[in-house]
Amino acid sequence: MSHQEDETVLRVRSLQVTYKQQRQSVPVLHNLSFDLKKGEILALLGESGSGKSTLARAITGLLPPSAQIAGGALQLGAGAHMELTDKNMPWELIRGRRIGLLFQDAQQALNPVLRIREHFQESLRFHRLASGEEADAISIRLLGMLGFPDAPGMMERYPFQLSGGMCQRVCLALALCLKPHVLIADEPTSALDTVNQQELLHLLKKLQQELGLTVLLITHDIAVAHAVSDRVMVLHQGNVVEIGGTRAVLARPQSDYTRRLLASRSQIVRPVQDGKLTLQAGEPLLEIVGLEKAFGRRKGVLRDVHLALEPREVLGILGQSGCGKSTLARCIAGLEPVTGGRMLYRGADMTRLRGKARREMCKKIQLIFQNARASLNPGRTALELVQEPLRYLKLGSRKEREAEARHYLQEVGITGDMMNRKPPQLSSGQCQRIAIARALAVKPEVLICDEVVSALDMGVQAQILALLQRLHKQLGFSIVMISHDIRVLRSFCHQIAVMNQGSFIEGKQAAALLHESRHAYTQRLLQGAEALEAGLDSGRRDNHDREHFGDYRTYAAHHAPQYQQAE
């Protein structure tokens, strides 16, 4: 760890946060205190709803109106303690320049009507760091470092034209361009495939080692924390239950809660119960023939896609961020018009459906979005949100709709007063569970799950997958499970199809993919998952960095003095 042991760049003392809920104050963070030293990566571990994101928003002045800081102080470097209850806190001087932010919901953090270039220009100009050509040069350099092969072209695109993983990398570049002293990274890898996860983790380590950047890494993924962090702080129900060196805490946890977190990681890795296909014979339920999709001048987002989904089948789609998985999901659900090809549902061409016929198809095919929070109306409660599609599709009476909504919310773990909370009052994991209940309530025949568990901690991942597996067995619907996580697909799917650059390159039974795949791209994805699970090998990391970040030292030499300025 390349930092001065006595130099603390961030101190948080006795932080208390409450949420207003039905005229009552519900405590979320309880007298939380910690220090962050220069050049350190501190991982904050905990389940969804433990208060991790609330902590990040509290120390950057971004809490929603329903939240209130009941007490606590913040100190940056050698400066004076600032009371977080002070309504005159100079957040415009702290947020961005002193404390950088990388949000979990990257797509929601970007303005959908501004090009990526305008995001960089706006941020750099506001903080008076650069403008015009100089701002463009900084932006292109950072985007290139983060794996975008055509960084100048990326500057001209809009956020809605990017995958969730691509938006995440753009947000990281936006945070780094301001050269913050502390970077708060809230679940930065949850939307990324294993290859891009490793590249991002390598880059965070490089930023730490070469630039002395300090990182508060919020994550539910124990493997990510193990790979990059120096220390771990475990949060449970708003309390710090354990803090210490990463290896010591993960190897010899002292808290029962930490031990449960570690044990939950193994729950997800188990094969499909029957271990083989048990499908009905006959024509496919859903068949895609030669599907094409392009956005404007961008050719070949989807290219000659062929796919057949049998009744009761659970089909996994594996691929890197930006390969076209989410675009395919939106096309099947009717949210994106296709450029060419056909999509047949029980023999009828869905691409020709309009009006009432298209609405009726909504009952048959439901899509659960990757970005759950952005798909939910922030002004409605969880109970109201699950009833919305039932009301739109005119299913059941008012009492029946409410009963169905309560049933499915309870099934996904949203119980008690959480049913009456709105999305801003819930964690991202809780919002994802509401989105799942909302889709299941209409009893679809095909359920498309677009990265539905990527934002959830391991224990909840296992619960959600077990719930979907049980409902699939009971109700008999088919599932298309889109994920970059081979562990999820291997534990849940009958077959896995691998997508690369808008086309399927191979498909095999889930149990056979690990051993029988011979395609280099698939091997790269599988090896990335294995490397993350095993921990990062230092020799492999050095070789990888020299190959992929050749311009890094030039960038570091130029910017290091500004990153390493004393407080």
Backbone angles phi, psi at 265, to 5 degrees: -65, -30
As a whole number of angstroms, the distance between CA 136 and CA 543 comes to 29
The pLDDT, as a whole number, for residue 542 is: 37
The pLDDT, as a whole number, for residue 567 is: 28
Q: Do domains 8-18+27-265+538-562 and 286-517 have the same CATH topology?
A: yes
The pLDDT, as a whole number, for residue 196 is: 74
Q: What percent of the chain has pLDDT over 70?
A: 87
DSSP β-ladder status, 82-83 and 67-76: antiparallel
The beta-strand segments (E) located in 38-112 are 41-45, 67-76, 82-83, 99-102
pLDDT average, residue stretch 289-308: 84
What value does the mean pLDDT of the chain take? 82
- DSSP 8-state symbol, 417: G
For residue 37, is pLDDT > 90?
A: yes
Starting at the edge strand found earlier in the chain, the sheet holding 41-45 runs 99-102, 182-186, 214-219, 41-45, 231-236, 239-245
Beta-carbon contacts of residue 121 (< 8 Å; ≥ 6 apart):
131, 135, 136
For residue 539, is pLDDT > 60?
A: no
pTM of this prediction?
Answer: 0.70
Residue 100 in contact with residue 182, Cβ under 8 Å? yes
Per-residue pLDDT band for 553 (boundaries 50, 70, 90) equals: very low
Could you say which architecture CATH assigns to the domain 8-18+27-265+538-562? 3-Layer(aba) Sandwich (3.40)
Residue 431 in contact with residue 51, Cβ under 8 Å? no
Q: Which of 184, 141, 149 is nearest to 166 (CA)?
A: 149
Q: Which two tokens stand for residue 276?
A: 């083989």
Place of tokens 């904050």: 44
Q: Which two tokens stand for residue 185?
A: 């990274």
Which of 88-92, 420-424, 539-543 has the lowest average pLDDT? 539-543
Tens of pLDDT, residue by residue over 329-352, are 999 998 888 999 999 998 888 888
Q: What is the CATH number of domain 286-517?
A: 3.40.50.300
pLDDT average, residue stretch 39-61: 90
Tens of pLDDT, residue by residue over 418-437, are 999 999 888 777 888 899 89
Of the two residues 200 and 290, the one the predictor is more confident about is 290
Place of tokens 């409605």: 380
As a whole number of angstroms, the distance between CA 94 and CA 440 comes to 43
The residues spanned by each domain of the chain are: 8-18+27-265+538-562, 286-517
The pLDDT, as a whole number, for residue 397 is: 93
Tens of pLDDT, residue by residue over 250-289, are 889 999 999 988 877 655 544 444 333 333 445 789 999 9
Of the two residues 145 and 367, the one the predictor is more confident about is 367
Q: Which of 51, 76, 75 is nearest to 63 (CA)?
A: 51
Of the two residues 401 and 429, the one the predictor is more confident about is 401
Of the two residues 547 and 465, the one the predictor is more confident about is 465
Residue 366 in contact with residue 447, Cβ under 8 Å? yes
